[in-house]
Structure 1
Amino acid sequence: MKHIEVVAAIIEDNGRYLATQRGYGEFKDGWEFPGGKIEKGEERETALRREICEELGATIEIQNFLCTVEHTYDTFHLTMHCYICHLASASHIHLLEHEASQWLGVEELLSVDWLPADVKVVESLTTYLQNNK
């Protein structure tokens, strides 16, 4: 089975977290944390900054590593490394690859139809936030 390794940004702003809706591909219309594939020889944090710039036209500051999620889809196995981030000052979100985005408060995190691997990230984020009040 094919293995794909990606990074994802859990972008926080004033207690709200950015969810993005895929605009293409097999999982079109599913909700996810933005990010993408790590290129060969690329460091995870470098890949994350590059992917967020490509997908959202934004610059981020990486705060903390949150978790690594493993999930097997029908046609591939996904390893996703997730980081809590903030937008760099004066940076703004521009949807370059996604159909839509929403800023969700903690109580709203389950209000969108997350892709299966991202459901695991939401669970990790919720636990992290409860433990760091």
Structure 2
Amino acid sequence: MPRLFNELAVARADGSFERLFRKIVRADVLILDDWGPEQMTASQRRDLMEIVDDRYGRKATVITSQLPVESWYDIIADPTFADAILDRLVHHAHRIALDGPSMRKNPQPAPAQSQLKETA
């Protein structure tokens, strides 16, 4: 999400916003990784609203977050936008809540590396 918002801001400044926006909206699957932990600015809310509105019912959107959905209103930081954005995101959504230890704490060797060791 932070990179997306940064790219949108740069595109708005250099005149390429419409091209980037169309590319995002047309993607078959849009993955919005790292939802939160910072509150959205007014322009970020507006951009996200336009993206989810144009994608709603047409394309898949995947969101990853360490925050529960109930906290997303605080991240959007505007009740009207939060209702509109979350209505489009949560309606017809499949929620998968993961629980357990971080996978980053116990790094496993990549499958390709372990296969190479076994054959060597």
What TM-score comes out, normalization by structure 2 length? 0.30
Q: Could you say which structure has the larger radius of gyration?
A: 2
Q: Which has the higher contact order (CA 8 A, sep 6+)?
A: 1
Between Structure 1 and Structure 2, the one with more strand by share is 1
